[in-house]
Amino acid sequence: MSEELYSVPRVREELAPGSLAWVRFNTAIESGKLKMVTPSDQFLNIVKESSEAVGDVLFLSEIDMQILALAFQLKSIGHDPLIVTDDYSIQNVANQVGVGFAPLITFGIRYRLDWILYCPACHKKYPPNYKPKSCEVCGSELKRRPLRKRPVKR
């Protein structure tokens, strides 16, 4: 079975220079086994909206969003992308946009969660993309909890 491997150029920023992962990443690029593609802004915007909808937008890096956008872009042109990650937020958003994922070490998510922020002291609720980390009423540190959960279909 022949599979094409894709990533985004900025992934290199997350690898320690000279590390085994860095060497393997660069070797895969140089040998042509790994293709570097920057996703279009259209798909980045869709992923940002989807991550806001489920409440994971503040837990994803720009590189995470690019990987999700690239997978969604590949899916839109007929590929069947699979994101290999143990990051639950990436898995949650991948499920939201209909992209497959496979965990490496963990069991992966069983439910897609829609998150909400709340104050544990006064119980005021905030939207999941609320940026301040403390409650505007009492000043307590905000926490996050699932608002809704849906089974993940694999």
Ordered domains of the chain (ranges, CATH): 1-38 (no CATH), 39-151 (3.40.50)
87-121 pLDDT, tens digit each: 999 999 999 999 999 999 988 888 888 899 999 99
66-88 pLDDT, tens digit each: 999 999 999 999 999 999 999 99
Higher pLDDT, 150 or 65: 65
pLDDT at 128: 84
Q: What angle do CA 95, 120, 106 make, to 5 degrees?
A: 35
The letter for the amino acid at 46 is I
Supply φ then ψ for residue 7, to 5 degrees. Answer: -155, 175
15-62 pLDDT, tens digit each: 999 999 999 999 999 999 999 999 999 999 999 999 999 999 989 999
Cα 122 to Cα 96, 117, 132, 142: the distances in Å are 31, 12, 16, 10
What is the Cα–Cα distance from 106 to 114, expressed in whole angstroms? Answer: 20
pLDDT at 1: 36
b (16+ CB within 10 A) / e for 28-46: ebeeeebeeeebeeebbeb
pLDDT at 153: 74
Instruction: Evaluate if residue 122 carries a pLDDT over 50.
Output: yes
pLDDT at 25: 95
What is the Cα–Cα distance from 116 to 69, expressed in whole angstroms? Answer: 23
Name the pLDDT band for 154 (thresholds 50, 70, 90).
low
Q: 144 - beta bridge partners?
A: 117
What is the Cα–Cα distance from 144 to 116, expressed in whole angstroms? Answer: 6
Q: pTM of the prediction?
A: 0.81
